[in-house]
């Protein structure tokens, strides 16, 4: 199953672009988004009562799923405080119980290279949050080495395939599978420095660019139990536009009738990689 959605749903610059500027009584952004996409990537801090409210707002969309970014305190500051871990787990319990938790994403800085120390820390995080399906956004190219990918496979950690501005040491678009969880994040291609995420996110992907990613996503979906595609080019709601476009493209490819068999070979689904 492929879920397409967006990050940045609480950004103030979505008012008047994604959400109505004058909101009617009872308006909730997640309820509104659940009519457009079937995935939202959220970041902490989270509380169980807040998560339960979210669940009530998206109940009309049975396919709607959340992915959750692991707190920076864990991935960047490497603080594995027992109280903080328990608080994070408690906040995610309502999502898991409702069957609405797709995956937890560990986002690491570019400086997080594949070293013995960092490998051991990644494994420690995997064991700490063993209850959840995990994926990792690893920006440094050293994590695409065979030994690094083997570590992800051994510990069932999904590799997050990213799209970002081209440049030296920037990861290229890929469809790497290391676990039953497939994950894609489209970060945008604006700006001269791919490390400036806010500048990169001010970018609207054109349909041909989304078509390139459609092929990668279909390859991921063929080898995973669930694939989560997050448009993270969230400046001024661009992520919602691209998520809706990509969602429609993927649905069209999977629901189109097969072509008639010809002398050149069996029928193929339009849009599928041969």
- Tell me whether residue 180 is exposed, middle or buried, using C-beta atoms within 10 angstroms of its C-beta: 0 to 12, 13 to 18, 19 or more: middle
Burial of 197 (0-12, 13-18, 19+ CB in 10 A): middle
Domain spanning 2-255 has what CATH number? 3.20.20.410
pLDDT of amino acid 266:
31
Each residue's pLDDT tens digit, 31-64:
999 999 999 999 988 999 999 999 999 999 999 9
Report the distance separating Cα 262 and Cα 230, nearest Å: 38
pTM of the model: 0.89
Q: Once rounded to an integer, what is the mean pLDDT over residues 238-255?
A: 89
Least confident of 31-40, 247-256, 257-266: 257-266
C-alpha separations of 84 from 40, 45, 64, 67, 211 in Å: 23, 10, 27, 19, 41
Burial class (CB in 10 A: 0-12, 13-18, 19+), 170: middle
Q: Which two tokens stand for residue 12?
A: 């103030």
**142: phi then psi, degrees, rounded to nearest 5:** -65, -20
Asked whether residue 29 carries a pLDDT value surpassing 50, the answer given is: yes
User: How much is the pLDDT for 261?
Assistant: 39
105 DSSP β-pair partners = 69, 135
Question: How big is the chain by its Cα radius of gyration, in Å?
Answer: 19
Mean pLDDT of the residues in the chain: 90
3-state secondary structure of 247: helix
Axis crossing angle, helix 207-222 with helix 238-255, rounded to the nearest 10 = 60
On the question of pLDDT at 122 being above 90, the answer is yes
Domain ranges across the chain? 2-255
User: Residue 109: which residues within 8 A CB-CB, separation 6 or more?
Assistant: 76, 139
pLDDT at residue 272 in the model: 33
DSSP letter, residue 9: T
Residue with tokens 């004058």, as numbered in its chain: 22
pLDDT in tens, 166-207: 776 778 899 999 999 999 999 999 977 667 788 889 999 999
């Amino acid at each position: 199953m492929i879920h397409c959605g967006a990050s940045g749903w609480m950004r103030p610059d979505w008012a008047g672009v994604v959400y109505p500027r004058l909101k009617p009584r009872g308006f909730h952004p997640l309820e509104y988004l659940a009519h457009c996409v079937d995935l939202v990537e959220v970041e902490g801090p989270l509380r169980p009562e807040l998560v339960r409210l979210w669940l009530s707002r998206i109940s009309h969309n049975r396919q709607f799923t959340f992915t959750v970014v692991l707190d920076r305190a864990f991935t960047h500051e490497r603080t594995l405080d027992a109280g903080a871990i328990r608080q994070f787990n408690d906040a995610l319990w309502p999502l898991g119980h409702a069957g609405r938790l797709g995956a937890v994403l560990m986002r690491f800085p570019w400086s997080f290279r594949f070293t013995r120390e960092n490998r051991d820390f990644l494994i420690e995080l995997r064991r700490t949050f063993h209850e959840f399906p995990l994926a990792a956004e690893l920006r440094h190219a050293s994590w695409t080495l065979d030994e690094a990918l083997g570590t992800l496979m051994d510990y069932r950690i999904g590799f997050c395939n990213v799209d970002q501005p081209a440049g030296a040491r920037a990861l290229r678009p890929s469809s790497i599978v290391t676990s039953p969880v497939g994950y894609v994040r489209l970060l945008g291609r604006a700006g001269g420095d791919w490390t400036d995420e806010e500048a990169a996110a001010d970018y609207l992907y054109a349909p041909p660019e989304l078509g390139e990613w459609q092929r990668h996503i279909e390859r991921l979906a063929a080898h995973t139990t669930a694939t989560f595609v997050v448009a993270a080019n969230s400046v001024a709601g661009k992520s919602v536009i691209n998520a809706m476009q990509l969602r429609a493209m993927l649905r069209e490819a999977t629901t189109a009738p097969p072509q008639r068999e010809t002398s050149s070979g069996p029928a193929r689904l339009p849009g599928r990689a041969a």
